[in-house]
Amino acid sequence: MTDGARATTRPGRTPREVATHCPYCALQCGMTLREEAGRVAVLPRQFPTNRGGLCQKGWTAAELLDHPERLTTPLLRDPDTGRLRPASWDAALDRIVAGIRAVQDGHGRDAVAVFGGGGLTNEKAYALGRFARVALRTRHIDYNGRFCMSSAAAAGMRAFGVDRGLPFPLADLGRADTLLLVGANPAETMPPLVRWLTEQRERGGRLIVVDPRVTATARQADLHLQPLPGTDLAVANALLHIALTEGWVDRDYVSARTTGFETVRRSVAGWWPARAEALSGVPVADLEATARALGTAERVIILTARGAEQHAKGVDTVTGFVNLALALGLPGRPGSGYGCLTGQGNGQGGREHGQKADQLPGYRRIDDPAAREHVAGVWGVPADELPGPGVPAYQLLDSLGTPAGPKALLVFGSNPVVSAPRAARVEGRLRDLDLLVVADLLLSETAALADVVLPTAEWAEEDGTMTNLEGRVLRRRALRPPPAGVRTDLAILAALTARLQAQGRAPSYRILHRKGPFLAPSPGRVGAVDGSDPRAVFEELRRASAGGIADYAGVSWERIDERDGVFWPCPAEDGPDTPRLFADRFATPDGRARFHPVEHRPAAEEVCAEYPLHFTTGRVLAQYQSGTQTRRVDALRRAAPDAFVELHPDLAARLGIGDGAPVRVISRRGELRAPARLSTAIRPDTVFAPFHWGGAARANSVTNDAVDPVSGMPEFKICAVRLERVDEP
Ligand code: SF4
């Protein structure tokens, strides 16, 4: 039986329960799964982050386990009919390996690429990186987390020397005197987190929200700043300007714990509040009230999320708020700090262990010779045989099938046909491939294009670890095995590796057989050391991450089970973990945080006579990411059945559009069609659409593929569009 699971016996039935976490977002709410008479129910579970609460997505997560559309056999595209047809695992794996051989023989190792996801467990993310670098020996691997919070990650790395979403436990939010949320809407994206906001306000704290829309979170705020999309950086610089003018900068902290302040002080000198108001539309009085609430309170937390990050200047925008936090002396001060709300379920752990183009496990850089030596040593291969850095996600997707780009792609846990910017172009690139392989539990829009589809296990059918938005490593526990015909991602990677090795295409690296300081035998699992056992993979991950920024060496499954997770870095099993970072020093060589001067610049695409409106995207409460799973859950489909285009009634009146009328949103890259939804929650110069749907309602048909030059994050949150009523039937 899985750790954390228990079975009780009653006459005629054997209910089984397991303590695990929600499969969806980065809050990773604790839940109990109970199986009785073949039915699986979700029960609340007390856990420090959600305290028994779940949102509608969590409550209904088990519905997909026995969903009629679940994939239970591999599918191969028939060359005669062009259709996908059921196939055996042997036939599917043989087809993949033959395709990899043909592509690499003809075009070189880098002609095969791998695309992962921020929802994969740590073990899968790690194994995927190892598979790409060692079995395929390609430099081309990246993942959809690049679309999620890579800008905050890059800003955190350059300021603090480490990237952990929240460098403090979530509970600190409830004790903040002032809490500033920038581009975050947790009331819809992670509702149980709102309990902390409620607690904060009940203690007399002030909640200030910066968002172009009057979101469910903004409605709860004491003060809502509603800037024009793409102007958050001007707001940040103006807030720091006011703090300097009013003498709220913590000079002792700045001089003892940071470097580079003087250049930032000079750079914000010109950011008079009136200038920021002219650019962003946020009244000077609101900027001043916000600066005062931040500058005069004892415990202050500043959080950013996708609204601030998903821009071609996302790294600089986040840096603007990091500069503000450092100037006020927040990071490392008890009850205060800067943090980022991660989005995807394993958005944090997924970017720490090697599925990012420039990374090796433990948040090591792949171009660092010492890091390569360490990880190659764990993998049992020469360091000089590891490939170098690849390219960020959108650049990779946009190169597929081109003369210089990869000709084959293996996709795990991602649906870029819906989630990538300028999605019609990405869809075309995928169609140009010689070989597209997709591993998924349902036939996503991307899987529907594939040459080979591999059915994978769901979250309740596998063990592993996830790392939540606090950097807390958690245990995912299996309730039951996958259905017949379905394999875990780890088993798929192990089978592909074995085939490549048998054909002499991949070196032997069955390192999982080796006993090391961390690899204690796991009762009942000792036979499964071919790479498909998550416990064995995690033990190897610990070795590979040891000494890195994200050091998991001291994190054992037993230790996670004994407490409510383990916070990284945790270098020794008999040493402490790290719920709070930066108490004494930052993770930079000299221990000081870095200021960086950042200047506002316009969006990559500005409005004009032909495209006079701003377009922005986001989420709704009852759907998740590209909707592959949540669009198939009855209760969620009833709650949020279709896409929509949100626009202000004044704009609707000007264009002659009634509530519910079909409209077209058109950009230079494409269009989406959906019913209009009139709302005063949005600015009259901006329209919004959720990104959970494909087909004609695909928001990413419209979005801009301009990317941040540092993080590679696409500019999902702003582009120029025009809006038209659809008159034809
Ligand atoms: S808030 Fe996130 S983790 Fe919690 S139940 Fe909802 S989707 Fe799941």
Please list, in sequence order, all residues whose beta carbon lies within 8 angstroms of the beta carbon of residue 146, skipping any fewer than 6 positions away. 356, 392, 393, 394, 711, 712, 713
Per residue in 86-123, pLDDT (tens digit) is 999 999 999 999 999 999 999 999 999 999 999 999 99
* DSSP secondary structure code for residue 385 in this structure: G
Q: Above 50 in pLDDT, residue 12? A: no
At residue 531, the pLDDT reads 75
**Which ligand 1 atom sits closest to the C-alpha of 27?**
3
Distance CA 171, CA 193 (A): 9
Protein residue with its CA nearest to atom 6 in ligand 1: 55
Q: How much distance in Å is there from the Cα of 187 to the middle of ligand 1?
A: 11
Residue with tokens 């900027």: 287
Q: For 685-717, how does the pLDDT look when each residue is reduced to its tens digit (9 = 90+)?
A: 999 999 899 999 999 999 999 999 999 999 999
Q: Predicted confidence band at 509 (pLDDT cuts at 50, 70, 90)?
A: low
Residue 8 pLDDT exceeds 80? no
C-alpha–C-alpha distance, residues 220 and 197, integer Å = 9
**Which pLDDT tens digit goes with each residue over 569-603?**
999 999 999 999 999 999 999 999 999 999 999 99
Q: pLDDT tens-digit profile of 403-450?
A: 999 999 999 999 999 999 999 999 999 999 999 999 999 999 999 999
- Structure tokens of 363? 């948040």
pLDDT of residue 523: 36
Contact of 439 with 456, CB cutoff 8 Å: yes
Residue 516 scores a pLDDT above 90: no
Ligand 1, pocket-test mutation among 20, 21, 29, 466, most atoms within 8 A of CB: 29
Write down the pLDDT at residue 343: 82
Q: Which of 20, 21, 22, 185 to mutate to test the pocket of ligand 1 (most atoms within 8 A of CB)?
A: 22
Full-model pTM: 0.94
Taking residues 28-52, report their average pLDDT: 94
Q: How far is the CA of 58 from the centre of ligand 1 (A)?
A: 5
**Closest to 216 (Cα-Cα) out of 179, 188, 180:** 188
Q: What is the pLDDT of residue 194?
A: 94
Q: What is the DSSP letter of 483?
A: P
Q: What is the pLDDT of residue 626?
A: 83
- DSSP characters for 27-48? T--EEEEEEETTEEEEEE---T
pLDDT at 160 over 90: yes
User: Can you tell me which atom of ligand 1 is nearest the CA of 191?
Assistant: 1
Tell which atom from ligand 1 comes closest to the C-alpha of 54.
Answer: 5
The region, left, alpha or beta by phi > 0 then psi within -120 to 50, assigned to residue 236 is: alpha
Instruction: Give me the pLDDT at residue 514, please.
Output: 40
Specify the 3-state DSSP secondary structure of 412.
strand
CA–CA gap between residue 4 and residue 565 (Å, rounded):
13
Kindly list the protein residues whose Cβ atom lies closer than 6 A to any atom of ligand 1: 22, 24-25, 27-29, 50, 54-55, 57-58, 190-192
DSSP states of 85-154 = EE--HHHHHHHHHHHHHHHHHHH-GGGEEEEE-TTS-HHHHHHHHHIIIIII--S-EEEGGGGTTHHHHH
Per-residue pLDDT at 620 exceeds 90: no
CA dist., res. 357 & res. 140, Å (int):
7
Whose C-alpha lies nearest to ligand 1, atom 4?
29
